[in-house]
Amino acid sequence: MAIDHSEVTMKKNLNIEFLKTFSIQGNRRNDFQIINTYRRFKMKKLMLVAAMVLGFAGMSFAQGGQTANTGALVKGNVVMAVGITETGTLDFGNIAVNSTPTPINPNSAAGIPLFTVTGAPSAQVYFTFGNTLSLTGPGTSLTFTPNLVGSNVAGNQSGATTVNSGNTNLVPLDATNGNYFVWLGGSVAAIPNGQTVGAYSGTFTLTVTYAGY
Give the type of residue at 124.
Q
Q: List the domain boundaries for the chain.
A: 7-64, 83-210
83-210 folds as: Immunoglobulin-like (2.60.40)
| Residue 180 neighbours by CB distance under 10 Å | 27
Handedness of CA 29, 33, 37, 39 (dihedral sign): positive
Residue 77: the pLDDT is 85
Q: Are 148 and 184 in contact (CB under 8 A)?
A: yes
Residue 79: the pLDDT is 84
What's the DSSP call for residue 180?
Answer: E
| DSSP sequence for 157-168 | STT-EE--BSTT
How many CA atoms lie less than 13 Å away from 111 in the CB half-sphere? 4
Each of the 213 residues of the chain gets a pLDDT tens digit; together they read 444 444 444 444 444 444 444 444 444 555 566 666 667 766 766 776 666 656 655 555 555 689 999 999 999 988 889 999 999 999 999 999 999 999 999 999 999 999 999 999 999 999 999 999 999 999 999 999 999 999 999 999 999 999 999 999 999 999 999 999 999 999 999 999 999 999 999 999 999 999 987
